[in-house]
Structure 1
Amino acid sequence: MFESRGALGVLRNQRPGTHGVGGMELFFDLVYVFTIIQLSHFLLHHHSWQGAAEAAVLFAAVWWGWNYTAWAMNWLDPQHAAVRVLLAFLMLCALGMAIAIPESFGDRAWLFVGAYVTFQIVRSTFMVLAFRGQQMGRNYAQLLSWSGIASVVWIAGAAAPEEYRLAIWALAVVVDYAGPLVGFWLPGVGTSDMSTWPLDEPHLAERSRLVFIIALGESILILGGVLLEAELTAAVVTAAVMGFCAIVILWWLYFSARHGNAAHEAPDLDQASQVARAAYAYAHAFMVAGAIVAAVAIELVVAHPLDNEGWPVALTLSAGPALFLLGNIVFVAAHTGRAPKSRIVALILLAVVLPLNALLINLLAGAVVTLILLGLLLATVTLRQSSRPEVPAH
C-alpha cells in the first residue's frame, strides 16, 4: 500500500483489499458497546427537544472519534506495538467520554471535552509522525489543525455557562464535520484533495459493518432488560416480538445485497476515498444514530405498550428508522450516484403517519412503523429477486 512503512515503521505495506480487521481493532470497539448504551440511556432520561439536541451533539463527538480512528487504522499496522499502545490509550479516552455522558452538560463537561480533545489530538499527531516526509503527513497535519480549531470551540463550551453549552458545542460539531468537506483547507496551504488519501475501502466497509452491529446490539440489550423487569402480559409480549422484528428488519436492510453495506464491488482506487467519505464517515453516522434511537423507541413501547404518550413516542418511533434510511440513501448514492426510490417512499410514509401515531397507543403506533419497514423489506427482497438474471436450463 505504501512504498515504505513510514518514519515510525508502523504503516501497513499491503495492497488495498488484502487485509482484514485486526484483533486490536475489535478490542477497541468494545468500549463503544458501553458508549452506545450510555447514549441511549441519556436520550431516554432526557426525552425532550433539548435532550434530543444534546444527545445529537454527544453522538456526533463520539462518532467522529470512532470514525477518525477507523480511517487511521486503514494505514496503521495493528500488530505493531506502538499502534496497540495508541489504540489502548484511545480506548481510555473513549471510556472517559462514555463515563461523562450522563452529566456531560453539567458537572462532567470538562471530563467529556478533555477526553474528546485528547482523543483527537493524540491520534492525529501520531499519524503526522507516522507519515513524516510523505504526502499523507501533510494531509494529517491539516487534519490536525482543524481538530485543533474545533478543540478550542469544544473547550470554550465547557468553560461557558451551562445555558450556552449546547449552542457552542453544536458549533464545534459543525467545525469538526466541515473539515473533510472543504478538504481541510488552511490559508496559505490550500486543501488536501481526497485523491491523495489512498484508502482501503473494503477494510473501512468491514469496520462500519461491525460498529453498526454493535449499535443494533444495544436494541437487544434494552429489549432483554425491559423484559426482565416487566410483567409478561399479552401486550408486553406482543410489543417485544414486534420490537425484535424491527431489529431484524433493520439488520436485513443494512446487509441488503441491493442497497446495503454487504459485499459489493469496491470503487476505483482514484474514487475510493471520496466514496468512503460520504458512505462511511457521514452516511454511517445517520445509520448508527438511527439504530440507537430505534433502541430507545423499543424500550418506550415495550415498557408502556397500552399508554398513549402522543407526539414524543410517535416522533421517536419514526426518527430511528428515518435516520437509518437517510443514511442508507446517502450510502447508496455515494456508491451508485442514484438515490433508491424505495427508501425515499418509506421516509415519506414515516412522516405521513406521524399525526396518526400521535393519537394511537404505543403498541399500535409501533405496529404502524414496523409495517412500513416490513413493506420496505418485502419490496427490497422482491426487487432483488426480480433483478437476478435467468440461468438457462441445461
Structure 2
Amino acid sequence: MASKPERLLRGSEAPLSASFLELFFDLAFVLTLSQLAEHLLHDLTLAGALRTALLLTGVWTLWVTTTWFADWYDPESAAVRGLLIAAALASLLAGVAIPQAFDGRGMLFAGAYVALHVGRSVVTAATLRGHPRQRRALRILSWYTLSAVPWLAGGFWADGRVPLWVLALSIDLTGPRFGWPTPMLGRAERKELHLVGEHFAERYQQIMIIALGELVLVAGLSYADTRLHLPETAAFLLVFVTAVLIGLLYVTPAGQRLGSAIEHADPARLGVITGHLHLVMIAGLVVTAVGAELSIAHPTATSDTTAALVILGGPTLFLVGRILFSLTIHRRISWPRVAALFVLGGVAAALRPPLLALSAVAVVVVLVVVVLDRAGILSYRQVRNPD
C-alpha cells in the first residue's frame, strides 16, 4: 500500500486528460481575461498597457504554476482537489481586484497571489514529509516566500507598487528556469521537474480556447449593444473570422507537436519557455479583444494611432508568440509569419483608414498565413540547435 506522500504524487496510471477541477479552475480565468481587457480599454496609453501587462503576467503565473502542480500531483488526491479549488478562488479574487489593482485593491490582488503560492507550497511540503520530493516543495516554498515580501509591500505601498511587483514577478519567473536553487537544498534536478507532455499540451490548448472564447464573448456583447447595421455586422464577422484563424494557427503545426517535445525536453528550459510564449499569445488575444470592442462599436470612425496599434497590435502580438513557438518546438522560422508582422506594422504606421478597414487588413494577413501553413508553402529556415 502506498504511503501518504506517495499517494499525493501523480502515478503512471493517473489519467493524462485534465481533471474536472482543472477545467473548473480555468473558468476563473474567464473573469480574469475579461477584466484585463476592460482594464486596457479604459487606459489606452503606454503606461496603461504596461500596467495591464504586469497584471496579466501575474495571473498567468497563477495559471501556469497551477498547471505544473496538477501535472506533478495526483488529481484524485483530496489534498490536490482542495488546492485546485483554492487556486480557482485565488484567481477569481485576483480578477476582482484587477480594475483597481493599482488603486484601492492592490492588497487583494497581492494577497490572493501570495496566499495561493505560499499556501500550496506549505501543504505539499508538509504532506511530502520524509519523501525525496519534499526538497522540491521546500525549494519552491523558499522562493515564493522571498517574492511574497515585494508582493505584499507593493500591496501596502501604492507609490512603489509597480517596481515592487516587477521585482516580485522577476523572482517568480526566474526560479523555475534554474530549478529554484536554494541554500542547503541545492537546485531541482531534471527528473524532479519532469512534465507529462500529453497532459501539458492539452492544458495549453484548453487555456487558448478560453482566451479565444473571451474574444468571441467580447465580440458578441459589443455587437449586441449596436444597432446591428451593416458596418457593425461586418466588424463583428471580421472579429469572428479572426478568432477562427488564430485558433487554426495555434494548432498548425507546432501546437500538435508540443506534447512530445515537452516529454523529451528539459522542463526547466522548454517547459518555462513555452509558458512565456503562451503568455505572449494570450496577451495578443487580450489586445485583440480590446480592438474588437473598438471596431464593432465605431466601425466607420477614422482610426488614430492608438486605435490602429490596438486593432493591429493584437494579431501582431499573437503572431510574434506563434513564430517563437514554432522556433522553440522544431527550430524553424516561418517567413510568411515574419512577413505578416511587417505588413501589419506598415499598415499601422502609414494609413489611417476606418476601424473596419483596419480589422479587414488584420484578417487578410492572418488568413494568408493560415493558407500558406495549411498548403505547406512555407519558406522555413532551419535553425541550428544550440544544445
**Contact 1:183-1:191 within 8 A present in 2 as well:** yes
Q: Which letter does structure 2 place at the counterpart of 1:192?
A: A
Which range is displaced more, 131-140 or 94-103?
131-140
Whole-Å separation in 2 of the counterparts to 1:327 and 1:76 = 29
Whole-Å separation in 2 of the counterparts to 1:34 and 1:213 = 14
- The aligned counterpart of 1:365 is 358
Whole-Å separation in 1 of the counterparts to 2:105 and 2:222 = 28
- The aligned counterpart of 1:308 is 302
Q: Which letter does structure 2 place at the counterpart of 1:100?
A: A
354, 374, 394: which one aligns with 2:348 = 354
**1:51 has 2:68 as partner:** no
How far 1:275 moved relative to its partner? 5.6
Secondary structure of 1:36's counterpart equals helix
Secondary structure of 1:266's counterpart equals helix
Q: 1:325-363: per-residue Cα shift (whole Å, max 9, x none)?
A: 222223222221333333222223222222124x22211
Which range is displaced more, 308-317 or 61-70?
308-317
RMSD of equivalent CA atoms: 2.4
Secondary structure of 2:365's counterpart equals helix
Secondary structure of 2:72's counterpart equals coil
**1:32 has 2:25 as partner:** no
- The aligned counterpart of 2:188 is 192
**Contact 2:197-2:259 within 8 A present in 1 as well:** no
Q: Which letter does structure 2 place at the counterpart of 1:374?
A: L
**1:380 has 2:373 as partner:** yes
Which range is displaced more, 133-142 or 303-312?
133-142
**Contact 1:275-1:334 within 8 A present in 2 as well:** no
**1:327 has 2:321 as partner:** yes
How far 1:376 moved relative to its partner? 0.8
Whole-Å separation in 2 of the counterparts to 1:268 and 1:52 = 32
- The aligned counterpart of 1:176 is 172
Q: Which letter does structure 2 place at the counterpart of 1:334?
A: T
**Contact 1:195-1:271 within 8 A present in 2 as well:** no
How far 1:221 moved relative to its partner? 0.8
Q: 1:273-331: per-residue Cα shift (whole Å, max 9, x none)?
A: 24642453211111112111111111111111111241111111222122212222232
- The aligned counterpart of 1:249 is 245
**1:209 has 2:209 as partner:** no
Which range is displaced more, 128-137 or 177-186?
128-137
- The aligned counterpart of 1:14 is 12
Q: Which letter does structure 1 place at the counterpart of 2:142?
A: S
Secondary structure of 2:188's counterpart equals coil
Change beyond 3 A, Cα 1:281–1:214 = same
Which range is displaced more, 172-181 or 23-32?
172-181
TM-score, normalised relative to structure 2: 0.91
How far 1:384 moved relative to its partner? 6.9
Whole-Å separation in 2 of the counterparts to 1:346 and 1:107 = 41
Change beyond 3 A, Cα 1:240–1:92 = same
- The aligned counterpart of 1:74 is 71
Change beyond 3 A, Cα 1:131–1:327 = farther
Secondary structure of 1:339's counterpart equals strand
**1:65 has 2:62 as partner:** yes
Whole-Å separation in 2 of the counterparts to 1:268 and 1:51 = 35
Whole-Å separation in 1 of the counterparts to 2:126 and 2:319 = 39
Percent identical pairs in the alignment equals: 32
**1:88 has 2:85 as partner:** yes
Whole-Å separation in 2 of the counterparts to 1:51 and 1:78 = 38
Aligned pair count reads: 380
Residues 148-297 of structure 1: pairs in structure 2 closer than 5 A: 148-162=145-159, 164-187=160-183, 189-256=185-252, 258-259=253-254, 261-262=255-256, 266-267=260-261, 269-271=263-265, 273-274=267-268, 276-297=270-291
Q: 1:108-143: per-residue Cα shift (whole Å, max 9, x none)?
A: 111111111101111222332344444432223222
Q: Which letter does structure 1 place at the counterpart of 2:340?
A: A
Whole-Å separation in 2 of the counterparts to 1:66 and 1:268 = 18
